[in-house]
């Protein structure tokens, strides 16, 4: 997460950003998201508002196999 969302998870452009890459969002401000919303985003690439995360920039398929405990741990962090 820290490569794209920066060390403090506040998002913004990072050293490996590609031209035209969307700015990674601030993960410390997911107001309105629940654990279920976060889990869906991590496993299915779908945000609470129904957007599909672009796997070219957010590699959610790599996280699709995380256990419930692992997803909950990421959420808690």
Please calculate the CA angle 44-45-47 and round it to the nearest 5 degrees. Answer: 110
pLDDT per residue as tens digits for the range 52-62: 999 988 999 99
For residues 28 and 1, what is the distance between their CA atoms, to the nearest angstrom? 12
Mean pLDDT of the 20-30 span: 91
By percentage, how much of the chain surpasses pLDDT 90?
A: 75
């Amino acid at each position: 997460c820290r490569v794209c969302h920066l060390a403090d998870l506040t998002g913004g452009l990072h050293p490996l950003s590609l031209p035209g890459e969307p700015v990674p969002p601030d993960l410390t401000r997911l107001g309105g998201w629940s654990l279920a919303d976060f889990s869906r985003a991590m496993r299915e690439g779908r945000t609470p508002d129904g957007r599909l995360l672009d796997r070219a920039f957010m590699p959610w398929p790599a996280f699709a196999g995380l256990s419930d405990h692992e997803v909950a741990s990421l959420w808690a962090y």
